[in-house]
């Protein structure tokens, strides 16, 4: 099934505009489109929606259809992320420091047997 999704964007401080874009149920689409014997590679850069989409892939079992995943994971960088980076907070660009939520997601995917690539 398809639906519509909203996203806020803007140009300049305080400016905000709602942008409606078509969306699909990715887990359903994947299950209907590929076979277990297919070699499936996904690139996912969906601006913080990766957590919901991957949760649904696990819940439906569609995660088992994915062999490789290139993902740009978004999440708030916290003290654990900075500690794991080995650098003092604020000393590196945030894109170089993993959030705890992303680290947990990446570990979950690897445990499911998915060959994972981080995409920034």
CB 72 within 8 A of CB 119: yes
DSSP state of 112: T
Mean pLDDT by groups of 10 residues along the chain of 120 residues = 50 68 92 96 88 94 96 77 78 73 87 86
Among residues 32, 29, 38, 119, the alpha carbon closest in space to that of 73 is found at 119
Angle CA 35–41–46, to nearest 5: 115
Tell if the pTM clears 0.75, that is, is over it: no
CA 80 to the chain's CA centroid = 20
Neighbour count for residue 40 (Cβ, 10 Å): 17
Q: Determine the pLDDT at residue 101.
A: 82
Q: Determine the pLDDT at residue 8.
A: 47
């Amino acid at each position: 099934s398809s639906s519509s999704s909203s996203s806020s964007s803007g140009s300049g401080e305080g400016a905000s505009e709602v942008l409606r874009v078509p969306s699909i149920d990715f887990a359903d689409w994947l299950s209907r489109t590929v076979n277990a014997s297919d070699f499936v590679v996904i690139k996912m850069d969906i601006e913080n929606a990766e957590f919901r989409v991957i949760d649904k892939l696990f819940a439906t079992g569609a995660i088992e259809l994915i062999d490789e995943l290139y993902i740009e994971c978004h999440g708030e960088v916290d003290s654990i992320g900075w500690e794991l980076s080995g650098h003092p907070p604020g000393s590196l660009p945030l894109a170089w420091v993993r959030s705890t939520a992303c680290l947990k997601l990446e570990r979950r995917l690897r445990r499911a047997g998915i060959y994972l690539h981080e995409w920034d």
